[in-house]
Amino acid sequence: MRLTVPVIARVHGTPIGVGCNFALASDLIVASEDAQFGQVFIKIGLMPDGGSTFFLPHLVGYQKAFELTALGDIISAREAERIGFVNRVVPAPDLDETVDLLARRLIEAPNIALKNIKAALNQNLQRDLAAALEFEAVGQDACFHSPDFIEGIEAFIEKRRPVFNQSRSSRAQAAQ
């Protein structure tokens, strides 16, 4: 956000978690049709970080941001475009050409005007980003030290569904 030049995220594949948040921090997001996006932190007992609690509500609204982060579903590129998460979705073979054309248009635009457009649009957002990142860091630290995070990681490694909100001994008894 502090760069004075535009940043275009070229997305092919499935950025989830922090990878998804790198895209959210961009000025333009162009995705291939087969791309998918996800805020899956909840599935391992964590809360979103990397700025997603700041960027998502601004892009898609509170309720959709809550749904994406609290349920951890992975969404298609077309759904991401429909809800305002992605600027454009193109066939995979056209992805590079589309990004190159957008980059060329931005390179050819008047630099001072483009710099000021970006600064003006980000002015109010940036004031709150530092506070959002700090809040995420404190909340994420609490999550990292929770039994649910341990369960989330163990379940991921064991390729099973996690059982949250139970003590270790309760989980062990349930497994027997």
Query: Is 163 a domain residue?
Result: no
Domain extent at residue 79: 8-145
Query: Is 40 a domain residue?
Result: yes
Query: With the C-alpha atoms ordered 151, 24, 1, 52, is the resulting torsion angle positive or negative?
Result: negative
Q: How far apart are CA 58 and CA 153, in angstroms?
A: 30
CATH code at position 20: 3.90.226.10
Query: Is 124 a domain residue?
Result: yes
How many domains would you assign to the chain?
1
Q: In sequence order, what are the residues at sequence separation of 6 or more whose Cβ sits closer than 8 angstroms to the Cβ of residue 85? A: 24, 29, 37, 56, 59, 60, 75
Lowest mean pLDDT across 78-87, 93-102, 106-115, 166-175: 166-175
Query: Is 80 a domain residue?
Result: yes
Number of other residues whose CB lies within 10 A of the CB of residue 54: 24
Query: Is 175 a domain residue?
Result: no
Q: How far apart are CA 22 and CA 61, in angstroms?
A: 19
pLDDT in tens, 47-73: 999 889 989 998 999 999 999 999 999
With cut-offs at 50, 70 and 90, classify the pLDDT of residue 157: very high
Query: Is 154 a domain residue?
Result: no
In this prediction, residue 176 carries a pLDDT of: 60
What is the reported pTM?
A: 0.78
> 147-158 and 111-144 are packed helices; what angle lies between their axes, rounded to 10 degrees?
100
**Buried (b) or exposed (e) across 119-148, using 16+ Cβ within 10 A?**
eeeeeeeeeebeebeeebeeebeebeeeeb
The pair of three-digit structure tokens given for residue 127, joined into one six-digit string: 């004031």
Query: Is 88 a domain residue?
Result: yes
Query: Is 165 a domain residue?
Result: no
